[in-house]
Amino acid sequence: MDRRNFIKAGGVGLAATTIAAPAIAQTTPTLSWRLVASWPKSLDTLFGGADYFAKLVAEMTDNKFQIRTFAGGELVPPLQVLDAVQNGTVELGHTAPYYYVGKDPTFTFDCTAPFGANYRIQNSWLRNGGGRALMDEFYAGYNVVSIPCGNTGTQSGGWWKKEIKTVSDLKGVKFRIGGWGGAVLSKLGVVPQMLAGGDIYPALEKGTIDGAEWVGPYDDEKLGFQKVCKYYYHPGWWEGQAQLSAYINLGKWHSLSKTYQTVIKAAAAEANNWMIGKYDADNPAALKRLIAGGTQLRYWSRPIMEACFKASRQLYAEESARNPKFKKVYSEWTPFLATEDEWMRVDEQQFDNFMYAKVGARA
Amino acid sequence: MDRRNFIKAGGVGLAATTIAAPAIAQTTPTLSWRLVASWPKSLDTLFGGADYFAKLVAEMTDNKFQIRTFAGGELVPPLQVLDAVQNGTVELGHTAPYYYVGKDPTFTFDCTAPFGANYRIQNSWLRNGGGRALMDEFYAGYNVVSIPCGNTGTQSGGWWKKEIKTVSDLKGVKFRIGGWGGAVLSKLGVVPQMLAGGDIYPALEKGTIDGAEWVGPYDDEKLGFQKVCKYYYHPGWWEGQAQLSAYINLGKWHSLSKTYQTVIKAAAAEANNWMIGKYDADNPAALKRLIAGGTQLRYWSRPIMEACFKASRQLYAEESARNPKFKKVYSEWTPFLATEDEWMRVDEQQFDNFMYAKVGARA
């Protein structure tokens, strides 16, 4: 190429660059955001999910959109992630929305609700059952956008120092529980305690609480509950699934191009599937280790399940009567879930129940 | 700004652009790819999933990476998507991997296998149970990379002109069925037929087949099976879930930057969650319409389920004995699934069975 052609070619290239530059600057700017999580770094599925999400965003944007992740307590206390994002202290959070039911129980629908949805139904409700629009409207009041970014599946029913054989055994038990499940249990005499993940074991050890639930075998084992509690109950009816959310400051969200918004949405979906896949693979091995170490597996008796279910319906009705925001979501959420339950019985449940009974007969 | 400063500023900008240009060109080039799907456009969940995936990729790349989608038959026949991607006729496909079990039954593990995984377990097997590496190795022989990009959940057990009350009623029935479920049914006397989605209704109407399965209520209703078959059976034990895959030509995949590879991976995850969410919301309404229109719901009897399960174990054993590639995957897949089944009984099944029985009692 002679110099003249080089200049000419360069000139065309430069002209194009000059014209395109403003559009590029708007859609894919260099950004450095901070994410505060509610989790200690030791929980490599929960905190790992936030980290994976951040890594995906960087990879998809050629490292232009960087997100630094901080564990609970590093920048803000683990249970104040919402506040930090709402105030714009940080751009992003990764948390369990039900940590904020003290502000308004409506948060529960974006996370997990007692005797509520399972993993599939939660996904469908948000995407196709009107859930997204309802929660967006609710979250606008908190200056936040919430995007599902991880899930645990059905959680376990927690660790108890004493066996719970009857409903009356629940009375007076100081039990660490996240979210709105505690409000249901309090109707049956439990004294619910809210503590962040890292604070539970010391409280169990000191005896300031009598039991605790966190997630399931893999995480619970890491937190060490098996060292102080003998009985491990199932299922965690207060968390038929538990959705973790990426919280994004509303102003910051609207400052993003459609390009970056879609990057965040897709990264969150991939992180979601990554997390549930990891839990589903890691939980069974952990449960086997726990049982080998002396943990006693227990299932809630039918009368306890029924009493808790009844208490949950009372709580939903009471909150609907006093909280119009809650009522608005609940009145659309309930019929959607009932329709899903009915449908899931036709194929999913038939298949699952047949297969689950075939353990050992597969090969 | 005076001219001197403008030139200086421009110069710095231009120099920076010139330095950055090669890197930008390598990682985020302008691309125009073609995707051939196995589906007619009328199936807005299956074909819609491929379309949504393409839209996400474009959005995340500032429209630089364009994927044009084609319905089955537009460029290549619906059941020859693998061949088109393998040969490089097109860069991408969207298909059900089990359409290719005629080439090698090992494809079944990347899609759905009779009495195999449910949705959650399939996700976990691929991500954390060694499935991804096993399938990548297998697919390398077909010059293809397969990425999960949609799922139907547990499918229905198909439409039958006559009731199937006993195992012997299966004998001689010409039944359209996708994938390896047909090989199981043939052990019980069924004459399995493989037809693409759009070809099934005409065959049922003409009487060249006696029954057909496709997906579930929403899709099946669109294809019109209820007009010619009275009995709708459940569950589709041959498809406890059915994963649809984005197939990418291996050379084309390796030509992509890490940036674009991650974009494709995350777009596929979002499309996956989109599709299952849509099926879960649309299926119950369709089932109600079908029943209102006279469709008779039937469940497989226990003896039929057991006979089919037994036949499936025979088939797996026979194929393992003659096919080392199949054996390699099967021998890792089976124990993973057994472990998952055992674990899923502890929390998921307890929760689901309790809730599914509460239909109508939620509110």
Mind giving me the DSSP string for B260-297? HHHHHHHHHHHHHHHHHHHHHHHHHHHHHHHHHTTPEE
Answer yes or no: is B204 within a domain: yes
pLDDT of residue A359: 82
CA quadruple A16, A20, A22, A28: dihedral sign: negative
Structure confidence at residue B179 as a pLDDT band (50, 70, 90): confident
Residue A276: give its domain's CATH number. 3.40.190.170
pLDDT at residue B266 tops 90: yes
- In this structure, the answer to whether residues B139 and B202 fall within a common structural domain is no
Clarify whether residues B234 and B246 are in a common domain. no
Q: Which of B262, B281, B300 is the last residue of a domain?
A: B281
CA-nearest residue to A234 within chain B is: B347
Mutation target for B interface from A12, A264, A346: give the one with most B CBs within 10 A.
A346
Indicate if B185 and B78 belong to the same structural domain.
no
**pLDDT over 50 (residue A349):** yes
Domain boundary among A281, A310, A341: A281
Give the pLDDT of residue A14: 35
Kindly state whether residues A321 and A343 are assigned to the same domain: yes
Q: Among the three residues B281, B312, B343, which one is the final residue of a domain in this structure?
A: B281
A60/B62 CB distance under 8 A: no
Per-residue pLDDT at B26:
81
Residue A17 inside a domain? The answer is no
pLDDT at position A6 over 60: no
Q: Which residues contact A249 (CB under 8 A, 6 or more apart)?
A: A85, A86, A88, A90, A91, A92, A143, A144
In chain B, which residues have their Cβ closer than 8 Å to the Cβ of A352? 118, 154, 240, 344, 348-349, 352
pTM (whole model) above 0.90:
yes
Pairwise CB contact (< 8 Å): A266 & B60: yes
- Domain membership flag for residue A7: no
- Chain A interface test: which of B119, B314, B343 (most A C-beta within 10 Å): B343
Cross-chain CB nearest to A270 (options B119, B120, B266):
B266
Q: What's the pLDDT band for B8 if we cut at 50, 70, 90?
A: very low
The contacts of residue B345 (CB under 8 Å, 6+ apart) are A356, A359
**Substitution target from A27, A351, A353 for chain B, most B beta carbons within 10 A:** A351
pLDDT in tens, A244-276: 999 999 999 999 999 999 999 999 999 999 999
Same domain as A258, residue A337:
no
**Together in a domain, B37 and B81:** yes
Number of domains observed in the structure of chain B = 2
Calpha distance B304→A12 (Å, rounded) = 72
The closest CB to that of B120, out of A258, A276, A362, belongs to: A276
pLDDT digits (tens, 9 = 90+) for B307-323: 999 999 999 999 999 99
Q: How far is A124 from chain B (nearest CA, A)?
A: 4
A87: distance to nearest CA of chain B, Å? 28
Closest C-alpha among B281, B93, B63, B311 to residue A130: B281
Residue A81 lies in a domain: yes
Does A35 fall in a domain?
yes
Positive or negative torsion for Cα B92, B98, B104, B106: positive
A278/B127 CB distance under 8 A = yes
Provide the 10 A C-beta neighbour count for residue A6. 10
Of B284, B334, B340, which is closest to A280 when you measure between CB atoms? B340
Strands annotated E in B13-139: 31-37, 65-70, 92-95
Same domain, B271 and B245: yes
User: CA-nearest residue of chain B to A62?
Assistant: B259
User: What ipTM was reported for this prediction?
Assistant: 0.92
Same domain for A333 and A245: no
Residue in A27, A235, A361 closest to B347 by CB: A235
B316 inside domain: yes
Q: What is the number of alpha carbons within 13 Å of residue A82 lying toward its C-beta?
A: 19
Distance from CA of B77 to the nearest CA of A (A): 30
pLDDT of residue A25: 54
Let me know how long chain A is.
363
The pLDDT tens digits of the residues spanning A46-72 come to 999 999 999 999 999 999 999 999 999
Q: Decide if A123 and B280 are in contact by the 8 Å CB cutoff.
A: yes
Q: Which residues of A touch B13 (CB under 8 A)?
A: 21
Cβ–Cβ below 8 Å for A355 and B341: yes
- Contact between chains at B124 and A287 (C-beta distance less than 8 A): no
* DSSP classification of residue B97: G
- Look over chain A and give the mean of its residue pLDDT values, rounded to a whole number: 93
Do A133 and A260 have their domain in common?
yes
The HSE-up count of residue B337 (CA atoms within 13 Å, CB side) is 27
Distances (CA, A) of B84 to A83, A100, A112, A124: 52, 52, 44, 33
Please check whether residues A84 and A204 belong to one and the same domain. Answer: no
User: What digits encode the pLDDT tens for the residues B32-83?
Assistant: 999 999 999 999 999 999 999 999 999 999 999 999 999 999 999 999 999 9
Mean pLDDT, range A174-196, rounded to an integer = 95
A190 located within any domain = yes
B4, amino acid identity? R
Q: What is the pLDDT of residue A363?
A: 60
Of B266, B353, B361, the CB nearest to A269: B266
Does A20 reside within a domain? no
Query: Does A155 contact B347 at a Cβ distance shorter than 8 Å?
Result: yes
- Report CB contact under 8 Å: A350, B309: no
Range of the domain at A256: 29-154+241-281
| Rounded-to-integer distance, Cα A326 and Cα A294, Å | 43
- Identity of the residue in A347, A355, A363 whose CB atom sits nearest the CB atom of B334: A363
Residue B186: give its domain's CATH number. Answer: 3.40.190.10
CA distance A273 to chain B (A): 7
B212 and B91 in one domain? no
pLDDT on residue A28: 94
Instruction: Find the CB nearest A270 among B265, B287, B348.
Output: B265
For residue A11, pLDDT beyond 60: no
Is the confidence at residue A314, as pLDDT, over 60? yes
Residue in chain A closest to B336 (alpha carbons) equals A281
Residues A224 and A86 in one domain: no
Closest CB from A266, A297, A349 relative to B267: A266
Collect all residues of chain A within an 8 Å Cβ-Cβ radius of residue B127.
Answer: 273-274, 277-278, 281
Token code pair at residue A322: 């006093």
Does the pLDDT of residue A22 top 80, yes or no?
Answer: no
Q: Which residues of B touch A14 (CB under 8 A)?
A: 14, 17
Is the distance from CB of A180 to CB of A105 less than 8 angstroms?
yes
Nearest CA in chain B to A309: B362
What pLDDT sits at residue B25? 53
